[in-house]
Structure 1
Amino acid sequence: MTQKILALDKYKKNITDYLNNFLAQEEKILAKLSLDDNVFDTLKNFLLLGKMSRANLLILSYEILQSNPADLSLKEILPFASALELIQAGLLIHDDIIDQDQKRRGQNSIWQYYALQKSSYNQHYGKSQAICLADLAFFLANQLITEGCAGFNSSNELKNNRPYNQKSFDIQQLINREISQVVMAEMLDVQLAIDEKIPSLEQIMQMYLYKTARYSFSLPLMLAGHLADQSPTIIKQLSQIGEKIGLIYQIQDDYLGIFGDNKKTGKPILSDVREGKKTIFYYYLLKSNTLKSQEKQLLNDCFASQKIEVKQGLALKKLFSSHSLKPVNAQLNQLNQEALTIIDQLNNKQLEKLLKQILVFAQNRQH
């Protein structure tokens, strides 16, 4: 299992070094404003706490898909990989504001960090500064994508003596559309939490697909396919595989939110319940035919409540275990089989091995 996790860490140092150099360069170029906080240090520290799995997945899959290993250049691929991590950072910062999460990656969330900077705790200040920092991360990511396309095009025009303008357009369009869908799925997540009615399983899976699955797995895989000049058929298969693995990843995230170790996850246990999140575990719990009236009352008392007592928390875990685990595991098994079926159609043993390792990682991760 350790080897599978390490596979998504292979290029973390390369990505970290690249991001450090890029942020230092941009800090020198951008205007010197008299801010109380060094925003580049704050962003860098937050970035470097991440696993950088999306960036690693992009590089690892590109490494395999590249037809000529001699052509592999980390210098060409690192701008795109680093951009994915900046986008991830921005999305997480916004997500913590929306969910009012005070912790992220075992430390204060960015908005909480800023709120605590003032002598009198100031949530408005904290959230306002965090929104701006996340926006900065998005624009810096766009800068990296632009630079990556320019560098990639220049290098490949020399090799192939043909323009790569269409490839640049396809890459930027792919990233923009996928991240636009993340934003819309975040809006759906908020909508589902506010609505009094129970969402359908289809709505929940749709939200998971576009908020997490596609941009976390499909996007890096598809981007690698575009950069390596793969056929539309291969890119479509990579997209589908990413969706299956990503859904498994998100459902495992929900599992850890209930049954995980908060020291490993970096977030409080049952935070989804406190925030009124209508997850797949919540769906199956409410749909259970054997849920007793007092158990429903317990869920109602705790759902969207910031004050869940220890005794209530233990009882909730027992409820989810009794009523939700079996149908959720059935859903996971189905997704796993669907992923394996598509992976086996790739006709690329090295890529199949990598994707099967990542599939196992998504199913068994503990943080």
Structure 2
Amino acid sequence: MPSPLAVDDLQDRVHKAIEHFLSARAATLAAVSDDCAPLVGYAADLLSGGKRLRAALCYWAWRAAGAPDEPAIVAAAAALEFFQAAALIHDDVMDASDMRRGAPAVHRRFTALHRANRWAGDADHFGLSAAVLVGDLCLAWSDELYTSSGLPADALARGRTTFNLMRTQLMGGQYLDLIEQAADGRDPAGALHRARQVIRFKSAKYSVEQPLLLGAELAGAGPDLLAGLSAFGLPLGEAFQLRDDILGVFGDTALTGKPAGDDLREGKRTVLVALTLRDADPVQKKVFAAHFGDPGLDAAGVARLREIIVATGALAATEEMITSGLRESLTALHTIDIDPRSRSVLATLARNATDRTF
């Protein structure tokens, strides 16, 4: 089987739907001023990358519900890519991240634009402000593309509750993540529970479960299929984010598109970190506390923290959580009454998402 993202030429069709939509938005902003071109251009550059996982899950849930392939569902699924772009742009602002998908983050690109033009004022503040606007545009565009996808009004109405819930819950999960970094180790006994709450609402639901539910609802799926897709999607979404947390510490820059160890520099209170601090001895905790969250952490410091994460068993425990989540997800998938082709693609998507092999 080809990549599950490419079956039915989906990856290419989603990309074309995004390009077509952005072309019209570029014309709208050009009528405001030629100076607005980077608002679309930088968004387009970000949207040109990505795996299209959320769009694929939405599309294949639609097909699993018995609905046929058609351009309208591809456009509706592409709306999720705009929502993802908004989340990434705002997340990079909040985390002060320099890189995204192997290129400068959107706010860093606007900072560079300010400096290249020798404009007045603070270049960094300009970059952050402009990036917030692009993120807001992508959020608005996600709704606009969903509404104009070409699906019937009754189908869009069926999906609207999940579409709205997805966006609100993500913001709540993002806020929980901000609190965790700001509180800097409050109530260590509850750290693992809080980290899992962040995973569920900042990533697992909007990355996997809700795209599945949205696609099925658009197709008019009944409660049994929706319950089955939820049981498949939620543990998969959590496993997907746990893999992301491991890559944020141990990942190859060529794969992640971000500097190695960036989550350690940003002080990300992930499950991996919660497990490390729970099981570290006093010396390990002291070393970890001295370096974790240091923006200037060098390669040697990253290596030292990695050693502690491995020595405490936190890496192995997180890998086991991923394996368990994938197992639970696939077990649920095989209880759902759907056609074999959809089941096969969804299963391959699940395995690849947790291995990050696409």
TM-score normalised over the length of structure 2: 0.90
Q: Which residue identity lines up with residue 32 of structure 2 in the other structure?
A: K
Q: How many residues align?
A: 347
Aligned with residue 353 of structure 1, among 338, 344, 352: 344
Q: Does residue 344 in structure 1 map to residue 345 in structure 2?
A: no
| Moved >6 Å (runs of 4+) | none
Distance in 1 of aligned mates of 2:158 and 2:194: 29
Aligned with residue 263 of structure 1, among 254, 267, 280: 254
Deviation (angstroms), 1:3: 4.1
Deviation (angstroms), 1:65: 2.6
Distance in 1 of aligned mates of 2:14 and 2:5: 15
Residue deviations 1:120-170, cap 9 Å, x none? 67110000000001111111111111112xx321xxxxxxxxxx53x4323
Residue deviations 1:250-307, cap 9 Å, x none? 000011111110122101122111111111111111111xx33332222111111112
Deviation (angstroms), 1:34: 4.7
Distance in 2 of aligned mates of 1:294 and 1:309: 20
Q: Which residue identity lines up with residue 13 of structure 1 in the other structure?
A: D
Q: Which residue identity lines up with residue 102 of structure 2 in the other structure?
A: G
Distance in 1 of aligned mates of 2:193 and 2:228: 22
Aligned with residue 319 of structure 1, among 308, 317, 326: 308
Cα separation, partners in 2 of 1:350 and 1:13, compared to 1, 3 Å: closer
Deviates more, 1:212-221 or 1:310-319: 310-319
Distance in 2 of aligned mates of 1:267 and 1:83: 25
Deviates more, 1:268-277 or 1:243-252: 268-277
Describe the SS at the equivalent of 1:117: helix
In the alignment, structure 1 segments of 5+ residues that lack a partner are 154-163
Q: Is the 8 A contact 2:251 2:261 kept in 1?
A: no
Cα separation, partners in 2 of 1:5 and 1:234, compared to 1, 3 Å: closer
Describe the SS at the equivalent of 2:113: coil
Distance in 2 of aligned mates of 1:65 and 1:32: 43
Residue deviations 1:88-121, cap 9 Å, x none? 1111000000000010000000000001112267
Match of 2:105 in 1: 109
Q: Which residue identity lines up with residue 185 of structure 1 in the other structure?
A: G
Q: Which residue identity lines up with residue 333 of structure 2 in the other structure?
A: I
Describe the SS at the equivalent of 1:116: helix
Q: Is the 8 A contact 1:208 1:250 kept in 2?
A: yes
Match of 1:14 in 2: 13
Match of 2:321 in 1: 331
Match of 1:142 in 2: 143
Q: Is the 8 A contact 1:281 1:325 kept in 2?
A: yes
Match of 2:192 in 1: 201
Q: Which residue identity lines up with residue 126 of structure 1 in the other structure?
A: G
Q: Is the 8 A contact 2:326 2:351 kept in 1?
A: no
Distance in 2 of aligned mates of 1:168 and 1:3: 31
Q: Which residue identity lines up with residue 315 of structure 2 in the other structure?
A: L
RMSD across aligned C-alpha pairs, in angstroms? 2.1
Distance in 1 of aligned mates of 2:231 and 2:52: 22
Task: Please list, as runs of the form range in 1=range in 2, the aligned pairs for 1:150-169 lying within 5 A after superposition.
Answer: 151-153=150-152, 165=154, 167-169=155-157
In the alignment, structure 2 segments of 5+ residues that lack a partner are none
Match of 1:157 in 2: none
Q: Which residue identity lines up with residue 227 of structure 1 in the other structure?
A: L
Deviation (angstroms), 1:5: 5.6
Q: Which residue identity lines up with residue 315 of structure 1 in the other structure?
A: R
Match of 1:78 in 2: 74
Match of 1:188 in 2: 176
Match of 1:98 in 2: 94
- Structure number with the bigger relative contact order (C-alpha 8 A, sep ≥ 6) is 2
Match of 1:129 in 2: 130
Match of 2:353 in 1: 362
Match of 1:65 in 2: 65
Task: Please list, as runs of the form range in 1=range in 2, the aligned pairs for 1:14-53 lying within 5 A after superposition.
Answer: 14-30=13-29, 31-35=31-35, 37-53=37-53
Match of 1:241 in 2: 232
Describe the SS at the equivalent of 1:346: coil
Q: Is the 8 A contact 2:89 2:131 kept in 1?
A: yes
Q: Is the 8 A contact 2:100 2:257 kept in 1?
A: yes
Describe the SS at the equivalent of 2:114: coil
Residue deviations 1:183-202, cap 9 Å, x none? 01000000011113134322
Describe the SS at the equivalent of 1:118: helix
Match of 2:264 in 1: 273
Distance in 2 of aligned mates of 1:76 and 1:366: 29
Describe the SS at the equivalent of 1:51: coil
Q: Is the 8 A contact 2:232 2:332 kept in 1?
A: yes
Deviation (angstroms), 1:341: 2.3
Deviation (angstroms), 1:325: 1.8
Describe the SS at the equivalent of 1:140: helix
Match of 1:158 in 2: none
Q: Is the 8 A contact 1:65 1:230 kept in 2?
A: yes
Distance in 2 of aligned mates of 1:11 and 1:101: 30
